[in-house]
Amino acid sequence: MFRCPKCNEPLHRHGMSYICAYHHCYDCAKSGYVNLTLRQKKQHGDDAMMIQARTVFLSNGYYASLQKALLRELRLLNPQVLIDGGCGQGYYTNALADHLPNCEVYGFDLSKYALKTAAKGNARVHYAVASVAQLPLFDACADCVVSIFAPLYEQEMHRVLKDGGAMIRIGPGPRHLWELKQALYDKVYENTEPAPLSLFTLRNVVTVDYSITLNDHKDLEALFSMTPYVYRTSRIKAERLKEWQADSIQLQFRMEIWQK
């Protein structure tokens, strides 16, 4: 289903490479993903440290309830072709592929560090380095697109979805990570609702809301490192976390189901 980013012709798999009719060739990495970007130097997605932090945190199951809630929605939608845009290290992508055996699953991310981990986790998923702003895919090829805490380019999502297809956008609810924010900042604000999409119709909004207790300080550091707060917090404020004994932290996810 991939198309060549240089000429837009279909790519065919030959051994460990994808090749188009004009002989543009893209080799797969050992782990199994293929790089289909045309060298966007400035865009590289999350770095190795960020990926490592997220892998440590997610592997402890703290976001498993969100994974289950997403799977519930997707079982109802029953897609044949599913795209995860900004899939990271495939925490959701790989689980979806495992639980939707009749669905062909594609994962895209700009970070090759993320895709290395993702591709090792599930050989059934087609992983490619590409920007979600310009996917190496044909028009109207997918039944469903998911975008989980990732940048979303509405027009591009619309282009790759079939008519009637679904787009699931997941992001933080108003009080996501509330106690962590309280520990870091003097004044804490609720997250605002994301801007509505204009090319899609909103079909449903599901809130997934629960609290977690972290196993240890290592998990707290991993959680902090995988949030945008790691870039926005001064060193003095970040130091506060060392003293903080987190009893419980509220997680609140907002899952929107849109239809083309």
Ligand X SMILES: C[S@@+](CC[C@H](N)C(=O)[O-])C[C@H]1O[C@@H](n2cnc3c(N)ncnc32)[C@H](O)[C@@H]1O
Backbone angles phi, psi at 227, to 5 degrees: -100, 165
Q: Is 20 one of the binding residues for Zn ion (CB under 5 A)? A: yes
Q: Phi and psi for 115 in degrees, rounded to 5?
A: -70, -25
CA separation for the pair 9, 17 (Å, rounded): 15
User: Which parts of 223-252 interact with Zn ion (CB under 5 A)?
Assistant: none
Region of 118-126, 142-150, 184-192, 202-210 interacting with ligand X (CB under 6 A): 142-150
Q: Which does 22 bind (CB under 5 to 8 A by kind): ligand X, Zn ion, none?
A: Zn ion
SS3 content of the chain, % helix, strand, coil (to 5): 30, 30, 40
User: By C-beta, is 46 or 104 nearer to ligand X?
Assistant: 46
Give the H or E element holding residue 146: strand 142-148
Tell me the three-class secondary structure of 201-251, residue by residue: EEEEEEEEEEEECCCCHHHHHHHHHCCCHHHHCCHHHHHHHHHCCCCCEEE
Of 10, 6, 16, 93, the C-alpha closest to 58 is 93
**Residue 114, phi then psi, degrees to nearest 5:** -65, -45
Judged by CB under 5 A, the stretch of 15-23, 73-81, 130-138, 197-205 that binds Zn ion is 15-23
By beta-carbon proximity to Zn ion, the closer residue of 136 and 172 is: 136
Q: Residues 13-52: x/- map of binding to ligand X (CB under 6 A)?
A: --------------------------------xx------
Interacting span for Zn ion (CB under 5 A) from 8-16, 52-60, 67-75, 227-235: 8-16
The interface partner of residue 20, options being Zn ion, ligand X, none and the CB cut-off 5 to 8 Å by kind, is: Zn ion
| Footprint (CB under 6 A) of ligand X, residues 74-93 | 86-88, 91
- Binding test (CB under 6 A) with ligand X, winner from 53, 82, 100, 114: 114
Separation between Cα atoms, residue 153 and residue 155, nearest integer Å: 6
Contact set with ligand X (CB under 6 A): 45-46, 86-88, 91, 108-111, 114, 131-133, 148-151
